[in-house]
Structure 1
Amino acid sequence: MDADESVLAKKKHVEFFKMYLYFIPARMFVLDSTRLSIVFFSISGLEILGALSDYNESTRKSMCDWIYSLQIHPDEDGDCSKCGFQGTDTFMTLEDGVAVHCNKMFANGHLAMTYTGLVTLVTLGDDLSRVNRPAIIKGVAALQQEDGSFACTLLGSENDMRFVYCACCICYILQDWSGMDMDKTLSYIRGSFSYDYGFGQGPDLESHGGVAYCAVASLVLMGKLHDVLTPKEYEGLRRWALMKQVAGFQGRANKQEDTCYSFWVGATLKMLDFYEMVNYEENRKYVMSTQCLDTGGFSKVRFSYPDPLHSYLGLCGLSFMGENGLGEVHPALNMSMRAVNCLHKIHQSW
């Protein structure tokens, strides 16, 4: 490792995240429909770097206003099945400064965008007073499938553990679990516990670091981790997750290490109270090797383009190891502990 690679280039990373708040590079235009997730990674990245204070209250409010413009409200008949947050304002226009949907067929909430929108609002200091909580919870309920999983949108999508996690986060943040048949969800998660003691995308499928994170975090948020797993399975899961470390972490056995799994698998180990078994030095070396010193940001593998997702999750992986100057991250909600404390204060006011 080169000498400067071992030093966290905080100022460069701050510049990197700020850039993504204002435009998306042409090579990433396909992500426009999920622009809110890019805002989530960028705001959360600035938060963990301690740079969110660079924005004054007025600027933060304008950011919150933009997020609220993406909220889908009940239709004229009171139907809430499409309620939530959508990911972009591309299909919207402004009339007297107010966002108006151009085409109702595109006005659909998306579970991942709703989750990232809510987290970003709290991180920016919003009190969620403009969130239509009952409508969003009904929107969550409309997306649950018969097997207990969730689709991400009514427009038609895959349904898997990612959106189970998003649904659990939304219900936790809004303190309302009525939008979920919890027994069905627990059955779905249980059915995805695999032969190798991890979680896969379905029964008897190979375990995956991202899926395992979503399953474990969902169980933690529901307070059901030890209800679903036996002591033997719990210990097997801990071992499975720990064995995903090579130098950094991989998502599956025999796959290349990837910066983001220092969060996905690292956070799983945090929730399983087994993180102290991680080789901090080797993990840090890998994450820092993907740091881009020219533009800021982290890439998934060395000598690749940095992006907001791997940049934020790389910083989270470093935070778990106590990297100097980085804020603490809540492993289940994937938001800063400062923001989580603000969220709990909001809960007390409801």
Structure 2
Amino acid sequence: MTSAIAKKKHAKYFQRILQLVPSRLAMFDRSRLTFAFFAISGLDILNCLDEMSHDEQLQAIEWIYRLQVSDSGYRSGFEPSTTIPKEAPNYQCGHLAMTYTGLATLLILGDDLSRVDRKSLIKGISACQNPDGSFTATRVGCESDMRFLYCACCVSAILDDWSGINKQKAIDYILKSISYDGAMGQGPGLESHGGSTFCAVASLFLMGELHNVLSKEQLNRLRHWCLMRQDGGFQGRPGKPADTCYSFWIGATLQLLGVSHLSDPECNRKFVLTTQNTLIGGFAKFEISQADTDPLHTYLGLSGLSLLGEADLQAMNAALNISQRAYNRLQDIHKRWRSKSEHS
């Protein structure tokens, strides 16, 4: 097993994803914007964003803005891809996960978000909140769970506008989703899971409520549950094998809870590196001899390594799942927005 990250190989892997998605992933065209986020944010984490030429970055920005559905009330947001033509506006609809990844990718590419229809997007968020506080990905005909509540919080944090969320209802939904073992499921009465636990904790963190709504005992039980998920790498649920992506989902949660130092970083790093393909790049779910690489595990594997302080990787902002560099750019944008608002 190699003890180093195959940085150049992974950068080439992300560049290929931006140009040509493998045929086995063609079914995920509905998530094309998320794939773009994995690749572009991955290049950012690798400190290889300059592998995209200036023209390529500008083209990516223009493509993302083409996906924006604005002035459409409950349908406002960003679409997954350009599959639905502009000539069929009644079928165009924003999707919370795509809106989050679209805005995040614009930030990473250095865009100032000046063409984002903030008011319209906030209307789209508000329309997706259910009476129980949860969120659907789109307003009509879609499942609702903790993932989309998290996406709504990310969009609100990026837009610096929380008026589209009933925070108390969202908090109540999270609290009702705490399982008997102290962690969170995708919804009330569901099994605790590493991904939904991250989404719940990060949402509370972004709302500035993490230490206000969870008691000291609840926080300690949550920390214990997350720390017990380490088995070399991290697993998503008790009894499951370690999986590359949970090096981020659980690792980021531990960081937000202030106890990442209590895990074993070397064991985690050792596991993640067994899942990388050093020939053509990319990371797999399990050891590379047992699984194929894919964009999600490649991105989250690198993100998990970044949380460990891996040399030559960009530091992560755990709550928003973007680089600290992109987050610093967002803070500058917020300062300009607030200054403009004060003088208007």
Shift in Å, 1:216: 0.2
What is the identity percentage for the equivalent residue pairs of Structure 1 and Structure 2?
Answer: 50
Question: Retained in 2: the 8 A contact 1:250–1:257?
Answer: yes
Name the stretch that deviates more: 102-111 or 209-218. Answer: 102-111
Instruction: Look up the equivalent residue of 1:268 and give its one-letter code.
Output: T
1:155 to partner: Cα distance: 3.7
Tell me if structure 2 keeps the 8 A contact 1:196–1:206. no
**Aligned alpha-carbon RMSD (Å):** 1.0
Q: 1:55 aligns with which of 36, 52, 56?
A: 52
Partner of 2:10: 13
Q: Which residue among 268, 287, 300 is the counterpart of 2:285?
A: 300
Aligned to 2:340: none
- CA distance in 2 between counterparts of 1:185 and 1:10 reads 39
Residues in 2 aligned to 1:307 and 1:102: alpha-carbon distance in whole angstroms: 33
Which residue identity lines up with residue 55 of structure 1 in the other structure? M
Contact 2:173–2:188, Cα closer than 8 Å, also in 1: no
Q: Is the 8 A contact 2:147 2:186 kept in 1?
A: no
1:348 alignment partner, one of 319, 323, 335: 335
Distance in 1 of aligned mates of 2:115 and 2:274: 42
The residue identity in structure 2 corresponding to 1:44 is: S
> Of 211, 226, 232, which residue of structure 2 is paired with 1:247?
232
- The answer to whether the aligner puts 1:234 opposite 2:219 as a matched pair is yes
- 1:33 shift after superposition: 1.1
Per-residue deviation, 1:103: 2.4
3-state SS of paired residue (2:234)? coil
The 5 Å alignment of 1:108-187 reads 108-187=93-172
Once the two structures are TM-superposed, the CA of residue 204 in structure 1 deviates from its matched residue by 3.6
Q: Is the 8 A contact 1:108 1:155 kept in 2?
A: no
- Under a length normalisation based on structure 1, what TM-score does the superposition of the two structures give? 0.94
- Cα separation, 1, equivalents of 2:299 and 2:183: 25
Q: Secondary structure at the match of 1:21?
A: helix
Q: Which sits farther off after the overlay, 112-121 or 291-300?
A: 291-300
Residue 227 (structure 1) shift: 1.6
Compare 302-311 and 270-279 and name the one that shifted more: 302-311
1: CA distance, partners of 2:165 / 2:190: 25
Between the aligned partners of 1:26 and 1:349, the Cα distance in structure 2 is 43
Q: Is the 8 A contact 2:229 2:237 kept in 1?
A: yes
Which amino acid in structure 1 is aligned with residue 270 of structure 2?
K
In the alignment, what sits opposite 1:70? 67
TM-score by length of structure 2 reads 0.96
Q: CA deviation at 1:323?
A: 1.1
Q: Is the 8 A contact 1:284 1:318 kept in 2?
A: yes
For residue 282 of structure 2, give the secondary structure of its aligned residue in structure 1: coil
Determine which of 84, 87, 98 is the counterpart of 1:91.
Answer: 84
**Distance across 1 between alignment mates of 2:187 and 2:98:** 24
C-alpha separation in 1, matches of 2:52 and 2:4: 25
- In structure 2, list runs of 5 or more residues that go unmatched: 338-344
Distance apart, 1:104 and its partner CA: 2.8
50-59 or 189-198: which moved more?
A: 50-59
In the TM superposition, what is the alpha-carbon distance from 1:23 to its structure 2 partner? 1.3
Q: What's the CA shift string for 1:56-113, capped at 9, x where partnerless?
A: 4332111100000000022xxxx41100000101122xxxxxxxx1423430000000
- Displacement after TM superposition at 1:127 (Å): 0.1
Specify the alignment match of 1:46 in structure 2.
43
Instruction: Provide the residue aligned with 2:175 in structure 1.
Output: 190
Q: Tell me the matched-pair count.
A: 335
* Cα deviation, residue 201, structure 1: 2.1
**Residue segments in structure 1 that go unaligned for 5+ positions in a row:** 93-100
Whole-angstrom CA distance in 1 between matches of 2:37 and 2:105: 6
Secondary structure class of the residue paired with 2:164: coil
Counterpart check, 1:30 vs 2:27 = yes
Query: Structure 2 CA distance, aligned partners of 1:156 and 1:294?
Result: 42
| Alpha-carbon distance in structure 1 between the residues aligned to 2:46 and 2:277 | 16
Q: Which amino acid aligns with 2:160?
A: Q
In 2, Cα distance between equivalents of 1:102 and 1:90: 11
Report what 2:301 is aligned to: 314
Structure 1 residue identity aligned to 2:29:
D
Write the letter of the residue equivalent to 2:33.
L
